[in-house]
Chain A
Amino acid sequence: MTISAILSLGQTSLELGLIEALTVLALFLSYSMLNVCDLSTDGCFTLGAAVGAVVAVAGHPYLSLPAAMLAGVVSGFVTALLQTRMGINSLLAGIIVNTALFSINIAVMGGASLVNLNRADTVFSILNKLTKGTVWHDYYKLLIAGAAVVLVIVFLRFFLQTKLGLSIRATGDNPDMVRSSSINPAFTTMVGLCISNSFTALSGCLLAQYNKMANIDIGSGIVTIALASLLMGGVFLGRGGIVKRAIGAVLGSVLFQLVYAIALRFNMPTFMLKAVSAVIIIFAIGGPYMKKQLPLLVRRMNAMKGGRNHG
């Protein structure tokens, strides 16, 4: 493997990692801050891809990004409505919306399960043309993905320090306290999910334009991958300020893509990606628990041995 091959592998991982980092940041808001595991993430990611692709095909590459984000806001709003106003369990609300989105996504794509963007102008193809002949040309994909991630982190940095942002964080931390601060936790949950889903949809929209196509299962399993990235990032930069933790989340996402790319180089079949992400998430969440249980297990086994000796 040549140096340039390694570099290109690294760059592709970085690009994909940054695009998917937007979903990781969405979960950073909903899972880490709001303490809601938003299972509509898969469907919302695909929704962003579908809406973005359809708008781009219609000839509005710039409009495709806000359109996808708006679709994400609507999806998040419905998920939040189910759990705060209709008493549906938050996990179930996510699954229901996710299921409904499957039909909606196909409807958005005009009854097809695939939209081809090869001939359409996208934000990537536009920047590709713009940077032609400059030093930036090799990095135009990186520029778009990086800019989106930086914008989202800057937004989170300021937003989470506002009164609304603090209320959203407190809702996940101690809803009783939010209520006693005269804030309706139903409202903060709603705002939080609308924002996080807009990031997820943006992530899907960018990935579709990056891949030059949107298909119905572009988002399947993304919630597990993003959660695994989020938890991996938390291992490195889990404590401290918002920016530090958000950068940790992005780092986790890039690292995940890198590990995945390396595994592919070593001939891991593509279809194993989801199993690998599942294993990572099991260890990331279950690991600390098992580590805590281990000394007890050892002690119990020793006691049992001792008991037998005495008996």
Chain B
Amino acid sequence: MAEHPILSLKGVCKTFNPGTVNAKQVFDGLDLEVNKGEFITIIGANGAGKSTLFNAICGSFYVDKGRIELDGRDITYIPDHQRSRTIGRLFQDPMRGSAPGMTIEENMALAAGRGGWLSSVSRADKEEFKQRLMLLDMGLEKRMKQPVGLLSGGQRQALTLLMATFNPPKLLLLDEHTAALDPGTAEKVLNITRQVVEENNLTCMMITHNMQSALELGTRTLMMHNGHIILDVRGEERARMTVEDLLERFRENAGRALDNDRMLLNT
């Protein structure tokens, strides 16, 4: 790894509502380095700081202390909408990533973000949108003029994935993006995710509650607890790991048993 990491967090600290009774310290000197092309899965109990980590990377809030670098550039104080040029993100809620009152075509035009402010979508662009939608194999390419609000959750999440990766981002953040979908659709969206990530050779971080897929998918697994990364495995060590090992390691590092029902049910 002679190259510089694509993402690096150094000594990141964040306290919400400082100076009040509701003060909550989430990060206390968090360090993380992500290398180019890595596919990281992140697990951890509720409130471990997984989504908050994504929020910090995306700029949903500014960190109190520390430094965030993306591809060698300091983005600590860059506002969220500017970071989104190079960071793609999907949420658990499939409704969050697209505008329901606008058509599929209009949504994709916004995601593509081509041309100047006063330019409109060209015929060639429309054709390209169609080609990309065909990859999803959901028949969306025939519904270009329909408002996105008419699509199902799975279709909307797949569309959002396509939109987030239309211009391949330097970093793709997936925040349990299949958790709200039924098992069949979830698997389909996950397969599309894998395909899109591989084709574009994206660097990707994915939060999941499914420990099995946390180990199967990707190249590196992080476990978080109380705003700390308590486990970071990759390569050989990760390949040999089982879900039982993961639970065992959690007990060792967190000093208590993993008490997340959703996670245990998924094992």
Q: Is B101 an interface residue (CB 8 A)?
A: yes
Q: Which of A166, A174, A177 has the most CB of B within 10 A?
A: A177
Contact A164 B113 (CB under 8 A): no
The residue that A164 contacts in the complex, of B85, B107, B117, with Cβ under 8 A, is B117
- Complexed CA–CA distance, A170 and B79 (Å): 19
Contact B117 A166 (CB under 8 A): no
Q: Which residue of A lies closest to B83 (CB)?
A: A182
Contact A179 B81 (CB under 8 A): yes
Q: Is B97 an interface residue (CB 8 A)?
A: yes
B74-87 vs A, CB cutoff 8 Å, 1 = contact: the mask equals 00000111101100
With contacts A176-B96, A181-B111, A181-B113 known, is A162 near B81, CB below 8 A? no
- Complexed CA–CA distance, A183 and B99 (Å): 14
Q: Is B164 an interface residue (CB 8 A)?
A: yes
Q: How far is the CB of A211 from chain B (nearest CB, A)?
A: 36
Q: Is B119 an interface residue (CB 8 A)?
A: yes
Q: How far is the CB of B160 from chain A (nearest CB, A)?
A: 8
Q: Is B98 an interface residue (CB 8 A)?
A: yes
Q: Is A118 an interface residue (CB 8 A)?
A: no
With contacts A170-B99, A184-B79 known, is A163 near B118, CB below 8 A? yes
Q: How far is the CB of B115 from chain A (nearest CB, A)?
A: 6
- Complexed CA–CA distance, A172 and B97 (Å): 14
Q: Is A94 an interface residue (CB 8 A)?
A: no
The residue that B100 contacts in the complex, of A162, A174, A179, with Cβ under 8 A, is A174
Contact A174 B99 (CB under 8 A): yes
The residue that A163 contacts in the complex, of B89, B107, B110, with Cβ under 8 A, is B110
Contact B99 A177 (CB under 8 A): yes
- Complexed CA–CA distance, A62 and B84 (Å): 45
- Complexed CA–CA distance, A264 and B147 (Å): 42
Q: Which of B80, B101, B114, B116 has the most CB of A within 10 A?
A: B101
Contact B81 A166 (CB under 8 A): no
Q: Is B175 an interface residue (CB 8 A)?
A: no
Q: How far is the CB of B198 from chain A (nearest CB, A)?
A: 22
The residue that A182 contacts in the complex, of B85, B114, B119, with Cβ under 8 A, is B85
Q: How far is the CB of A82 from chain B (nearest CB, A)?
A: 20
Contact B118 A162 (CB under 8 A): yes
Q: Is B264 an interface residue (CB 8 A)?
A: no
- Chain A contacts for B164, CB-based, 8 A: 180
Q: How far is the CB of A33 from chain B (nearest CB, A)?
A: 9
The residue that B109 contacts in the complex, of A158, A166, A184, with Cβ under 8 A, is A166
Q: Which residue of B lies closest to A191 (CB)?
A: B117
A166-196 vs B, CB cutoff 8 Å, 1 = contact: the mask equals 1101101110111111111100000000000
- Chain A contacts for B80, CB-based, 8 A: 179
Q: Is B120 an interface residue (CB 8 A)?
A: yes
Q: Is A161 an interface residue (CB 8 A)?
A: yes
- Complexed CA–CA distance, A163 and B111 (Å): 10
- Chain B contacts for A158, CB-based, 8 A: 120
Can you give 16 contacting A-B residue pairs, CB < 8 Å?
A162-B118, A163-B120, A169-B106, A170-B102, A174-B95, A174-B96, A174-B99, A177-B96, A177-B99, A177-B107, A177-B110, A179-B84, A180-B88, A180-B97, A183-B81, A185-B81
Q: A163-B114, A174-B99 are in contact. List 5 more A-B contacts (CB 8 A).
A: A166-B110, A180-B97, A181-B111, A181-B113, A182-B113
- What 6 A-B pairs are tightest by C-beta distance, nearest first? A173-B99, A164-B117, A182-B85, A174-B99, A170-B99, A173-B101
